[in-house]
Amino acid sequence: MGLFTGKKGIVLGVANDRSIAWSIAEHLHREGAEIGFTHLPDTGDRPKNQNKVGKLVDPIGSKFLIPMDVCNDEHIAAVIEKAVATFGKIDFIVHSIAFAPPADLTGPTYACSRNGFKSAMEISAYSLLAVAGAAKKQDALSQDCSILTLSYFGGEEVIPGYNLMGICKAALECCVRYLASELGPYGTRVNAISAGPLRTVSSSGVGDFDKMQMVNATISPLRRNLDVDEVGSMGMVMLSKLSSGMTGEVVHVDCGFNIMGAPPADFLSKISAAT
């Protein structure tokens, strides 16, 4: 009997087998969870996104797989309606959604466009509020529901290359705290994982990502980069009863990078060797 035997929920944001959301879903499944998934809406006649995500989730017994555009309230409502029709109540929600237009993400923050800023904030931060709000409105949350989203240290401190997304993650982390305060009286916990730099679809649009990983590996106390499975296992723990007293928190899973106030003594020698 696993930690999630009898537990049911939804995972939002799986893009491929390198997605953090997918790693979390795998751990939830191993512990007995029943899961419904969403995918990016497809355009044209070919269900490319549906097929790509379906190949991952079908073998683990996905209870449903439906499209969701987080900029569309009707899509969000439909996902929650499907979850309620399938599960009755939702015990967990994984929110792993972020996007910024490449032209606005790769340049300096002072040069981002007004529309690019709006789009990035709406998808990367407001979407968490929208999903939680839709679930609360439809009375879909169980008495001990847990919501988890994904952040990055660039939302706390300046990480060159992360740029506009850092601003979005700062907003997302603030959303976590306010949601935790407002949903706590109903028994719902809301937390975030701040993961170290991992090569995912989202990170592919970040400038100087290779340098971010190199710096993380040379500065972090563990002197290495993260494995996605390490985030997946922590995500499972934070959604489970093992973290029942935790809400409104941003937990760093980054090999200790966030604790360093200055580079370690061997930093310069490692950087020189790497270049």
Q: Which of 110, 126, 162, 178 is catalytic?
A: 162
Catalytic status, residue 186: no
Single out the residue of 135, 178, 172 nearest to residue 154, CA to CA: 172
Spatial separation of the C-alpha atoms in residues 142 and 263, rounded to whole Å: 45
Single out the residue of 31, 155, 4, 161 nearest to residue 90, CA to CA: 4
Catalytic status, residue 126: no
Spatial separation of the C-alpha atoms in residues 213 and 197, rounded to whole Å: 6
Spatial separation of the C-alpha atoms in residues 133 and 124, rounded to whole Å: 15
Are 160 and 112 in contact by the 8 Å Cβ rule? The answer is no
Single out the residue of 157, 38, 9 nearest to residue 96, CA to CA: 38
Q: Which of 110, 126, 152, 178 is catalytic?
A: 152
Antiparallel, parallel or unpaired: β 64-67 and 250-253? unpaired
The pair of structure tokens assigned to 51 is 């097929």
Are 271 and 233 in contact by the 8 Å Cβ rule? The answer is no
Side-chain half-sphere exposure of 196, counting CA atoms within 13 A: 30
Neighbours of 132 (CB within 10 A): 23
Are 207 and 227 in contact by the 8 Å Cβ rule? The answer is no
- Which residues have CB under 8 Å from 249's CB, separation 6+? 176, 191, 192
Catalytic annotation, residues: 152, 162
